[in-house]
Chains A and B, each alone.
Chain A
Amino acid sequence: MTELVPSPVEPKAIGTALPRVDGVEKVTGRAAYAVEHPVDRPLFAWLVTSTVARGRVVAVDRSEALAHPGVVSVVDHTDAPRLAQTDNGELAILQDDAVGFRGQIVAVVLAESSEAAREGARLVRVEQEAEPFEAELREDNASYRPEKVNPAMETDTDQGDVDTALGTATTVLEQTYRTPYEHNNPLEPHATTAWWSEEDGRERLTLFDSSQGVHGVATALAPMLGIDREQIRVMAPFVGGGFGSKGEAHAHVMAAALAARTTGGRPVRLAVTRQQMFSLTGYRTATISKFRLGTDDDGRLTAIEHRVQEQTSRLREFAEQTASPTRMMYAAPNRRTSHRLAVLDVAVPSWMRAPGEMPGMFAHEVAMDELAEACGLDPVELRRRNDPDVDPEEGLPFDRRGLVECLDRGAERFGWASRPRAPRSTADGEWWVGTGVASATYPAMRQPGNVARVESTDTGFAVSIGAVDIGTGARTALTQIAADALGVGTDDIDLRLGDTALPMASVAGGSSGTSSWGSAIVAAAQQFLADHGDRPDPGLWTEASALRGDEADRFSFHSFGAVFAEVHVHRYTGELRVPRMLGVYSVGRVVNPTTARSQLVGGLVMGMSAALFEESVRDPRFGHVVTQDLATYHVAAHADVAGIEAEWLDESTTTFTPMGSRGIGEIGIVGTAAAVANAAYHATGVRVRDLPLTADAFLE
């Protein structure tokens, strides 16, 4: 394997609207997801979960379950295979009698049919001893200071003297903003097919898993199961969305692996139910953001303070980096950010699309809207005045700081100039009409450790990397990148991914996929051409990894965007509608305009959905989310989505990746809820600082 700094790629296929290479399989339903692969004599697994938030499993009575026709076995903590490592409190299930949250896996039922497994799970009697617990995030209990926040950021920052600057500021805004618990809810519930076999005298575990990172799953499971990484094969040819919740293996994957170890080789199919997803597969913490902003006479920020309170689980720490965008978004000489957590006896939170940026920028961008009004400035103008020359946190120049261009272009396209300044100025029949704007940002990330393989074949090139296309269009975009890097057409590329048998790849997350995997593919392609020439015989191959130069020491790399929304609020019912949204983005070169537009529009839809609907309600008396289905946890439906458009600046950033791209998966959700909230304020004069914006807030 060679390591090299790849050269920029001349775009030919890159930038064209190549239709998804896996589209026919998807529109016909022939694409096979995690529990849809034909396997020999599968056993169906059903999870039994705890009903106390903290305590002990005193006894598991399996007799009724085992007497039910079709039930084969029940695995619980008394007889589940032992794990070699148990430090990951989320994954170390069925090892002892401790219960860490309501909804935790306490037994697995295996049966010949899913009907028998489900009934068997109902018939397992789990006697539990309840212990005192805490499951409510409050301002007075979120005081724990984590060592770092996700993924490895400083917990607190402090530049200059915020208190003195606020004391002398012309305008001061001090407000608190809240975002609720949110669940990713990909349409494909988390699911795993697992079986153990023996090969060359060694145990082997094979998984079809609905995962954003097959290599990450193998790396997490292997040491816990006491086997080498090479003894696990994880495949994910198709994944029905993830939005972060499939970024890491959750407990059900371990449940399938453990249960399958007891069946003498029979495969186990385990599909998490939609209801169980609300306790087992990750979620976004609720957040409390306390903002203090101070400006001078011209509306230039002199101080920014963002103090965050949120929660984690006692079982495993996850600290959302909610204040991270505040550290680089606007210029100000004095700035302080902090994160404090409530450590609760609850399900383990994790990544959800744009962790940190999504809740943090909701708070920051509503605060900026309030500040604009307090300063008597147009909200676009306020943001323009506070656009920094260099990254305020790093002190480095931005490789590209496209925010003001996005704002200007969006304002022009959206018709911002004709907007009346005062709120509650426009009515259309029984509806108040308003418009709002918010900025968006997301860091550009390239993950290390990606390896690609290029092999000449009879028909062109097989290009392999163990990445996953969770619906992003990666399979298509990487085909285009490979074609250009090898100087051939996309028809000549056979792109292979979704399998740990293929070279190492990082997770599909943090908008880093195309940048990370694509750079490795370019490196492998360029090394292949150097090794074998451009007219190679079939059967030659090269594996390579992309090194980075010193660009990260010279530049700060971020994407930016501006979101404009029109909101109608019904005068008598408070109903909100969003008939029009526009996002304009600076994201580097777009590899495929079709799939990129779908990613950005999809992010805008999810941000709008968060603005209007999404809220997981946890009952602190019992410790679980009670809105645990799609009838009570609302996500945007067809009828909610009208007139959403996304576009981007024509640019390329080859200092960051050889393709010139920077990543697009998350930024569409960032700032969107703020734009909607700001537009709702402009429509009605009612300022809502808590998501979601429900009708009751607007009733007169």
Chain B
Amino acid sequence: METTIELTVDGERRSLTVDTRTTLLDALRERLGNTSPKKGCDHGQCGSCTVLLDGRRHLTCLALALSYDGAEITTAAGLARDGLHPVQQAFLDHDGYQCGYCTPGQVCSAVGMLDEAAGGVPSHVTDDLAVPTTLEDLDDGEIRERMSGNLCRCGAYPGILAAVREVAGA
């Protein structure tokens, strides 16, 4: 069964027909031709498909597209619309990637995570859950924990940590 939805993707409003079974990830990749979000596992286990959905980081492989009619999505490609996002530049500067496949997801996750931390959202390793976090609380342990939903098989974690740390401290 097919249905028509509207999505704003990287600033552009798009109308598209999806199967009721179409995931948000496949809608982006196979129906809209935006392959910036990657499919690494299709099961919410690797984080490669992470985008910013209405401003928050989100796994698109576990989301059915028709549930997100009207949503606003920013992919890593969209983050670079007006030049590279500072997180992307930091990934380049710290070689926070190798093969590049998990990278768009890592970048979106980092951007979303920095917003969460700045907005007071605690993590599993936050000492005092009663005190809202700020970017200043993002020590290495916090960054590692908060980025652990995004796997990198090339093992570029030290570079990713350095990149995120730099942007958090900027």
A→B interface (CB under 8 Å): 19-20, 22-33, 36, 38, 44, 113-116, 119, 185-189, 238-241, 243, 271, 273-274, 470-473, 594-595, 597-599, 601-606, 609, 629-631, 635-639, 641-642, 644
- CB–CB A637/B156 < 8 A: no
Complex Cα gap A637–B124 (Å): 15
- Give the contacts of B149-170 with A (CB-CB under 8 A): 150-161
25 A–B pairs (Cβ distance < 8 Å), ordered by A = A24-B80, A25-B100, A27-B76, A27-B104, A28-B77, A28-B84, A29-B38, A29-B76, A31-B100, A33-B35, A33-B101, A38-B33, A44-B30, A187-B40, A188-B99, A239-B99, A274-B42, A274-B45, A473-B98, A594-B95, A604-B155, A606-B155, A630-B41, A635-B151, A639-B145
A161 CB, nearest partner CB in chain B, Å: 44
- CB–CB B80/A28 < 8 A: yes
- CB–CB A26/B97 < 8 A: yes
- CB–CB B77/A188 < 8 A: no
Complex Cα gap A472–B161 (Å): 19
Complex Cα gap A274–B148 (Å): 19
Complex Cα gap A196–B158 (Å): 43
Among A29, A187, A609, A631, point to the contact of B99 (Cβ < 8 A).
A187
- CB–CB B95/A638 < 8 A: no
Which of A594, A597, A598, A638 is most buried by chain B, counting CB atoms within 10 A of its CB? A638
Closest to A646 in B: B158
- CB–CB A240/B161 < 8 A: no
Complex Cα gap A24–B46 (Å): 22
Chain A residues, Cβ within 8 Å of B140: 642
B60 within 8 A of A: no
Among A119, A189, A598, A631, point to the contact of B98 (Cβ < 8 A).
A598
Complex Cα gap A493–B12 (Å): 36
- CB–CB B144/A641 < 8 A: yes
Complex Cα gap A240–B21 (Å): 26
Asked whether A189 and B95 contact (CB < 8 A) given A24-B84, A471-B100, the answer is no
Complex Cα gap A321–B19 (Å): 49
Closest to A645 in B: B158
A501 CB, nearest partner CB in chain B, Å: 23
Complex Cα gap A115–B144 (Å): 35
Q: Mark B27-65, 1 if CB is under 8 A from A, else 0.
A: 001100101111111110110100000000000000000
Complex Cα gap A595–B80 (Å): 23
- CB–CB B151/A629 < 8 A: no
- CB–CB B45/A631 < 8 A: yes
- Give the contacts of B120-162 with A (CB-CB under 8 A): 140, 143-145, 147-148, 150-161
Complex Cα gap A238–B140 (Å): 31
Among A23, A595, A638, point to the contact of B160 (Cβ < 8 A).
A638
Chain A residues, Cβ within 8 Å of B24: none
- CB–CB B150/A638 < 8 A: yes
- What are the nearest 9 A-B pairs in CB distance? A471-B99, A29-B36, A240-B101, A605-B155, A26-B100, A29-B104, A602-B155, A471-B98, A36-B35
Closest to A238 in B: B100
Asked whether A274 and B37 contact (CB < 8 A) given A187-B153, A636-B155, the answer is no
- CB–CB B39/A189 < 8 A: yes
Chain A residues, Cβ within 8 Å of B80: 24, 27-28
A695 CB, nearest partner CB in chain B, Å: 19
- CB–CB B41/A240 < 8 A: no
B117 within 8 A of A: no
Asked whether A27 and B92 contact (CB < 8 A) given A189-B40, A238-B100, A637-B148, the answer is yes
- CB–CB A241/B99 < 8 A: yes
A485 CB, nearest partner CB in chain B, Å: 24
- CB–CB B97/A27 < 8 A: yes
Closest to A668 in B: B155
Complex Cα gap A209–B33 (Å): 18
Complex Cα gap A44–B41 (Å): 17
- CB–CB A188/B101 < 8 A: yes
Chain B residues, Cβ within 8 Å of A609: 155
Q: Mark B67-111, 1 if CB is under 8 A from A, else 0.
A: 000000001110110001000100111010111111110010000
Complex Cα gap A471–B43 (Å): 24
A276 CB, nearest partner CB in chain B, Å: 11
- CB–CB B95/A597 < 8 A: yes
Chain B residues, Cβ within 8 Å of A28: 36, 76-77, 79-80, 84, 88, 104
Complex Cα gap A185–B151 (Å): 11
- CB–CB B33/A23 < 8 A: no
- CB–CB B100/A22 < 8 A: yes
A193 CB, nearest partner CB in chain B, Å: 12
Chain A residues, Cβ within 8 Å of B88: 24, 27-28
- CB–CB A641/B30 < 8 A: no
A274 CB, nearest partner CB in chain B, Å: 4
Chain A residues, Cβ within 8 Å of B21: 115, 119
Given A471-B97, A638-B145, A638-B157; 5 other pairs, CB 8 A cutoff: A24-B92, A28-B76, A28-B79, A29-B76, A115-B22
- Give the contacts of B1-31 with A (CB-CB under 8 A): 19, 21-22, 26, 29-30
- CB–CB B29/A36 < 8 A: yes
- CB–CB B100/A638 < 8 A: no
Chain A residues, Cβ within 8 Å of B145: 638-639
Chain B residues, Cβ within 8 Å of A238: 99-100
Chain B residues, Cβ within 8 Å of A599: 98
- CB–CB A32/B35 < 8 A: yes
Asked whether A241 and B101 contact (CB < 8 A) given A113-B30, A631-B43, the answer is yes
A635 CB, nearest partner CB in chain B, Å: 6
Complex Cα gap A271–B42 (Å): 11
- CB–CB A598/B154 < 8 A: yes
A65 CB, nearest partner CB in chain B, Å: 15
- CB–CB A602/B43 < 8 A: no
Complex Cα gap A639–B104 (Å): 19
Complex Cα gap A676–B22 (Å): 44
Chain A residues, Cβ within 8 Å of B39: 189, 271
A209 CB, nearest partner CB in chain B, Å: 15
- CB–CB B155/A30 < 8 A: no
Chain B residues, Cβ within 8 Å of A29: 35-38, 75-77, 103-104
Chain A residues, Cβ within 8 Å of B42: 273-274
Asked whether A635 and B153 contact (CB < 8 A) given A29-B36, A188-B99, A241-B99, the answer is yes
Complex Cα gap A113–B21 (Å): 11
